[in-house]
Structure 1
């Protein structure tokens, strides 16, 4: 009896190969052939699932979005339902720090997609690139909750502080990618800033970078 093919699994396998190529050689090096080689399949099979390179790039972008969302939710769940806003904010922002192979690949490739979207109309309109806006809204809600709980200065502008936090975490993530500092050093800087924002010493979501 012929073996049944799991098409979704095969598509995911091909997409993961694209992400590996992009992470090691850059998004500009991605071709149908390089992805096929990375996946250990034929170019014809890659073309069976993706008619064009653009389709493949967009599919990979969608997969990045799903995995990023999962990792952020995992961190928030790990923080616990009773965690104060500061702990939740810390857990979410630490996801911007590349701490393992998957997160390094995510941040490296996402940065390349973001730069490419400046000149590529097909990528510019993708919802995934609006993720920072969604994260900003989430942080505003957490900071507002912290103000109501008396954990931070009620006079602070929650929106402006959220923008600063995102800029700090993004910059720290980039500095780790560039080898300027380690993930632990970046986490220490982030916690230092949060300590100033939450002077009450609210318990953090975690003590080490995972």
Structure 2
């Protein structure tokens, strides 16, 4: 009996090869041949699943988004017994390169961000109009007891953009993760009042 092929798993293996090349050398180093070599598969298999380099880059990015969202959902579920502030801190800290996996994901996202400036088609996927993270942070803020005058959406925009920017400082060793987490706690104290 012929063995069943898990096509989604094969696509993920190829997408992960794109991520490794992007994280180490940038998206300009991604070619279908390089990806095939990195993934340990034939060039024909990469071409069969993705057809063009652009499709390969876009689908690898979508897989990365799915992976990142799954990790964030697991983090939120693991913190279900915490306060809204605690869950929010965990969600935002997940954006920082505090472990090898989040550092790797940030390096891949950086490669895509850099490429999005010169590739309008890729920018449509990478810089789409949706704001799922800001929406999530807004929703969490709306669940908590906030200091008077706090506007959840404005705070969400500031928290997400601030942590995103500070994550690059940690990645490039301009700041230590402890300093960035202290900055995050400062802003959460301002929004919620001091942690108890």
TM-score by length of 1: 0.83
**Matching residue of 1:55:** 55
Pairing of 1:1-210 with structure 2 (within 5 A): 1-80=1-80, 82-126=81-125, 129-130=127-128, 133-146=131-144, 149=145, 152-202=146-196
Q: CA deviation at 1:131?
A: 7.8
Structure 1 runs not aligned, ≥5 long: 203-210
Pair 95,19 (structure 1): closer, same or farther in 2 beyond 3 Å: same
Q: Decide which moves more: 105-114 or 60-69.
A: 105-114
Cα offset, 1:3, TM superposition: 3.6
Bigger shift: residues 154-163 or 129-138: 129-138
Contact 2:138 2:153 in 1 (8 A): yes
Cα offsets for 1:68-110 (capped at 9, x unmatched): 1111111111111x43221121111011101223222211221
SS of 1:125 mapped into structure 2: helix
Per-residue CA shift, 1:110-148, capped at 9, x if unaligned?
Answer: 12223322332222222x5348722222222222332xx
Question: What TM-score do you get using the length of structure 2 for normalisation?
Answer: 0.89
Distance 2:29 2:176 in 1: 27
- 2: distance between equivalents of 1:190 and 1:132? 24
Displaced runs of 4+ in structure 1, greater than 4 A? none
Taking a change above 3 Å as real, the CA distance of residues 131 and 181 of structure 1, as seen in their structure-2 partners, is farther
**Where do 5+ consecutive residues of structure 2 fail to align?**
none
Per-residue Cα deviation, 1:25-70 (whole angstroms, up to 9, x for no partner): 1111111111111112222221121211111101101101101111
Q: How many residues align?
A: 196
- RMSD, matched Cα: 2.0
Q: Distance in 2 between matches of 1:101 and 1:112?
A: 17
**CA positional deviation for 1:15:** 0.9
Q: 1:187 to 1:50 in 2, by over 3 A?
A: same
In 2, are the aligned partners of 1:97 and 1:187 still within 8 Å (CA)? no
Cα distance in 1 for partners of 2:95, 2:116 equals 20
Q: Which has the higher contact order (CA 8 A, sep 6+)?
A: 1
Q: Indicate the larger mover: 135-144 or 34-43.
A: 135-144
